């Protein structure tokens, strides 16, 4: 890491015109981010993906993309460390140029995130700071840092959560859900402010999804899955690919008339 494979011919790269379809996905070393990165690549776009503590997971995402002829570059990024964002933007710019002969990103997925359940009465200032940095302040300032690299007409997808809804609420997520709610409101303002450049901004709200969230909570506590599946209209919890496909759709031209929306991707959780 970082991995910078040669671009596969015919995918995402058009060095003659200097344009390429390339999406940056944060937190693509597992779960929803990995699902989104794979689906975006399957639709023909190049992918810059990021990881924090799981380089092996990022390498797996790159390899799976290369297996079907796509092109991906993995870069390390801690979204809680805003002071690193200017240097990160330069790295992204270099990767765009070297790998795709391009200067701009056509898509950005602010997906990286973590959860730390705590009853409100036990939620410390340190926990609120930590969650706020990763879930809200990070995407906010990362997007600002990457704004000069975003092509006119680009698409941004921010990953929210069904925990922001007034149904299916699980105690212990007051800080997590509040910051995810902030992401939804911020995204709406971003859609308004960036609409003049043709940039669309939407949020997805995944329901319970089998990922490594919460320190691999579903692997450590598989007994959590059945009740969540029973409370889902389609009878199971989500997989990273279920959400990844919707993210890829929102990034695509097919979703060109959708902006400022918060879309539930939960299989009908708690209907
Ligand atoms: N799973 C669910 O049920 C669910 C439901 C609603 C919303 N979400 C949201 O979906 C998003 C993706 O989570 P997931 O469920 O796919 O969990 P996951 O499998 O744990 O993936 C989280 C990803 O975010 C990265 N990450 C975590 N903290 C980071 C930080 N400080 N800086 C940079 N990257 C960081 C992780 O990187 P490393 O592993 O490399 O450190 C990993 O790639 C999160 O925003 C989460 O809140 C999940």
CATH number at residue 157: 3.40.50.720
The DSSP bridge partners found for residue 14 are: 19
Give domain status of residue 107, yes or no: yes
Residue that is written with structure tokens 């997520």 in the block: 173
pLDDT at 1: 42
CB-ligand 1 contact for 159 (6 Å cutoff): yes
Please state, in angstroms and rounded to a whole number, the distance separating the CA atoms of residues 230 and 239: 15
Catalytic: which of 51, 176, 189, 269? Answer: 176
Q: What is the pLDDT along the chain (271 residues), one digit of tens a residue?
A: 444 333 333 345 443 445 689 999 999 999 999 999 999 999 999 999 999 999 999 999 999 999 999 999 999 999 999 999 999 999 999 999 999 999 999 999 999 999 989 999 999 999 999 999 999 999 999 999 999 999 999 999 999 999 999 887 889 999 999 999 999 999 999 999 999 999 999 999 999 999 999 889 899 999 999 999 999 999 999 999 999 999 999 999 999 999 999 999 999 999 9
Structural domain for 229, as ranges: 21-265
Give domain status of residue 270, yes or no: no
Give domain status of residue 9, yes or no: no
Where would I find the H helices in the chain? Answer: 31-42, 55-67, 85-100, 125-132, 138-146, 174-194, 213-220, 225-230, 240-251
**Backbone torsions φ then ψ of 52, nearest 5 degrees:** -115, -75
Best mutation site among 177, 213, 219 for ligand 1, i.e. most ligand atoms within 8 A of its Cβ? 213
Cα(212) to centroid(ligand 1), Å:
7
Give domain status of residue 12, yes or no: no
Give 3-state DSSP helix, strand, coil % of the chain, rounded to 5.
50, 20, 30
Number of domains in the chain: 1
CB count in 10 Å sphere of residue 119: 10
- Residue 269 is among the residues annotated as catalytic for this protein: no
Give domain status of residue 8, yes or no: no
pLDDT at 19: 62
Give domain status of residue 13, yes or no: no
Give domain status of residue 271, yes or no: no
The kind and range of the H/E element at 50 are strand 46-51
Give nearest CA residue, ligand 1 atom 32.
78
């Amino acid at each position: 890491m970082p991995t910078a494979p040669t671009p596969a011919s015919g995918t995402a790269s058009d060095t003659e015109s200097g344009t390429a379809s390339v999406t940056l996905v944060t937190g693509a070393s597992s779960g929803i981010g990995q699902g989104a990165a794979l689906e975006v690549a399957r639709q023909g776009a190049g992918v810059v993906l990021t990881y924090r503590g799981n380089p092996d997971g990022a390498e797996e995402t790159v390899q799976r993309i290369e297996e079907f002829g796509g092109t991906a570059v993995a870069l390390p990024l801690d979204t809680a460390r805003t002071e690193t964002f200017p240097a990160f933007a330069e790295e992204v710019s270099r990767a765009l140029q070297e790998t795709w002969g391009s200067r701009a990103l056509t898509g950005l997925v602010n997906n990286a995130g973590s959860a730390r359940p705590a009853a409100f009465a036990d939620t410390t200032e340190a926990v609120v700071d930590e969650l706020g940095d990763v879930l809200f302040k990070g995407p906010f300032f990362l997007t600002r840092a990457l704004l000069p690299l975003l092509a006119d007409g680009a698409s941004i997808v921010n990953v929210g959560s069904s925990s922001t809804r007034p149904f299916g609420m699980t105690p212990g997520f007051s800080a997590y859900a509040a910051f995810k709610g902030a992401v939804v409101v911020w995204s709406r303002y971003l859609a308004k402010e960036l609409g003049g450049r043709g940039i669309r901004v939407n949020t997805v709200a995944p329901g319970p999804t089998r990922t490594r969230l919460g320190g691999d909570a579903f692997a450590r506590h598989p007994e959590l899955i059945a009740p969540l599946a029973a409370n889902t209209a389609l009878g199971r919890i989500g997989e990273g690919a279920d959400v990844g496909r919707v993210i890829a759709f929102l990034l695509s031209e097919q979703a060109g008339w959708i902006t400022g929306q918060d879309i539930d991707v939960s299989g009908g959780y708690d209907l």
